[in-house]
Structures are given as C-alpha cells and as structure tokens.
Amino acid sequence: MRKQYEEAFRISEYNYLTVLENTHEPIYVAQNGMLKYVTKNVIQTSGYSEEELLSRPFIDFIHPDDREYVMSRHMQRLKGKNPTNLYQYRLIDKYGNTRLMELNVTRIIWDGKPATLNFINDITEQKQTQEALRLSEERFYKAFKFNPAPMVVVSLYDGRFIDINDSMINYLGYERNEVIGKTIKRLNVFVNADNFNYVLMCGVNYNTICNMEIHFQTKSGEIQIGLLSTEIIDVAGKICLLGVIQDITKRKQMEGELKKANQKNISILESITDAFLALDNKWRCIYMNSAGEKIFSRIYEIKKETETTFVVLLLF
C-alpha cells in the first residue's frame, strides 16, 4: 500500500491528494516543521481538529523529550539525507494522554518543495501488552527460580529440559549445564518409564496432574520419592510442562519404619496367650489379638481412622 502512495505522489500531486482523501490510514504531510495535510485517522488519533493540527508546528503535539529527535530527522530528510525511515515517538493527544506512535517516513515533493510523507501507527496498546507480558514473565521467573520447591520446565514434545530451578538442581544432584537441553529419558530421572509416559500423555491431552507419587533417580543413583504436580504453560510459543515436586522421601521412610514397628508389635501381641484389646476414645475395639478372639468368640471391627487411640490390656 505504501508503494502505491509513493507511486501516486511521483506521478502528480493531484493523484496523491486523491489517494490521501480516500485512505483509511493515518497519514500526514510535513514541510519545514509544519503539517500541510492530515487524513481523518490522524484527527481521530490526536483528538485535534484539522484546523488545530495545521495551524501549529507539529512538534507541539510531540512529547517534549522526543521533539529534537523527530525534528532533526525531519530536516535531514528535507535536505536529501536518509536517516532511519522507521522510528518511534510519543504523541500528546488533545486530552493530555501520551500515545506511542511508530512512524514510517519517505521524502516527497509538495507544492514544488521537499516534504515528508509520514505513515503513523498507534502502537500504544501493543507496547502495553508487551510490557504486561514482560512483567508477568519476570514475576514468573523470580517465583520459579527462587521457589523452595523443586521446579522444572520441560518441552511437551520430547520431554527436554527447558529450565530448572536451584531447588531442583539440589534435588537431583546435577549441575545446570548437565540438565538443560537433555531429555528426562536420557538422564533416567524417572525410575518407572511408564510414569514418564503417563505424564507426557496427560500433557498432550492438556490434563493437569496433582500430587502423583513418583520415584526419581538422582545423579548418584539415589532414589527420591516426590509428589509431582504439572501444568501446561507457553514458553516463547512452545507448549511446555511446568512440574513441581513435593519431596516426601523422609516421610515415606518414617512411614516404612513405623509400619515395621507396628508389625513387630503385632507379632509380639499375637504370640502371647493373654487376651489383648485396643480401644479408641469411644470405647470401640480397633484391635484384638488371637487370644482375645478365642475368648470372646468373635472378631470386632477394626477402625483405622480415630481421633485418639489408647490401649487397654485385659488379662483373663
């Protein structure tokens, strides 16, 4: 479209006036620091009337910090020099709002004298969106990097490590450069390969995972147990998985030790000839050894979840 305008201007002033009057783009013609022509969209963007725009130097509508920059390029182009065609400046509209404009400039002849033809594009909302995205990504990065929970970002396509936080580095025992760019499968992070396949399958189907118990293998070969939760995220246009691990290795070890202790105690209770009953705080029987069953001739229901448990030893 810009080439068509330039070609029309080259042929005759009558042609490019006809083009300008029918365009839907914000375009203005500037000559020696004054606006000579503006399209309707420039009027709408600035909030000023055509008379107001054409009666004052165009730098009056530009942010004070950008005026010298814009005027310098305008005058250079009038003298036949070729400064940057595409650049940005801040426009102050009639209501005092600052809007960021992208300007694309070319040199033309207007009324027999050098002038500039200026195509403007309001990129205020675009920049605001970009800034909001940048801040969001910055906040995410800080929350990711300094989170005490082990966290990782992997490509959904092949399970390749995109990023990993310090907590995950400590958790797995690898250096950062040993992990980034490698795949989970290559490092054998998952003890059970089926778990890895399941996680990727959930990601492909855009399903989240919440507290899935996984056995992970560290660099030293040690097995760690964690609850894995995942979410789908977009990283620079690439679909990835954000994984968060809650380490429960010590808890599982304690549970195992407690289970062994309970089994040992039960073995002892089963070996004695005296009747043994365990009652909860509501006097319900939650355990009875074999001797007790023989004496009472029936088995009481064992309640696994109680508020408080205490033991009563009955000898018969």
pLDDT in tens, 3-61: 655 555 554 555 566 666 666 678 889 999 999 988 888 888 899 999 999 999 999 99
- For residue 198, the number of C-alpha atoms closer than 13 Å in the C-beta half-sphere is 12
> Binning pLDDT at 50, 70 and 90, where does residue 1 land?
low
Tell me which amino acid residue 223 is.
I
Whether residue 302 is predicted with pLDDT greater than 60 in this model: the reply is: no
- pLDDT tens by residue, 195-231: 888 888 888 887 788 999 999 999 999 999 999 999 8
pLDDT in tens, 102-135: 999 988 888 888 999 899 999 988 888 787 777 7
Residue 6, burial from CB neighbour count under 10 angstroms (0-12, 13-18, 19+): middle
Strands (E), the chain: 27-31, 34-38, 86-92, 98-110, 113-122, 151-155, 161-164, 209-217, 223-235, 238-247, 276-280, 285-288, 309-313
d(CA 248, CA 214): 10
pLDDT of residue 316: 39
* Domain 2-122 identical in fold to domain 136-250: yes
Q: In the chain, where are the structural domains located?
A: 2-122, 136-250, 271-316
- Residue type for position 287: Y
Above 60 in pLDDT, residue 269? yes
What are the backbone angles phi and psi of residue 237, rounded to the nearest 5°? 85, 0
Q: Dihedral sign for Cα 99, 105, 108, 114, please.
A: positive
- Write down the pLDDT at residue 312: 44
Residue 66 has pLDDT above 90, yes or no: yes
159 or 137, greater pLDDT = 159
Arch. (CATH architecture) of 2-122: 2-Layer Sandwich (3.30)
For domain 136-250, is the CATH number 3.40.50.300? no
Asked if 66 contacts 73 with a C-beta cutoff of 8 angstroms, the reply is no
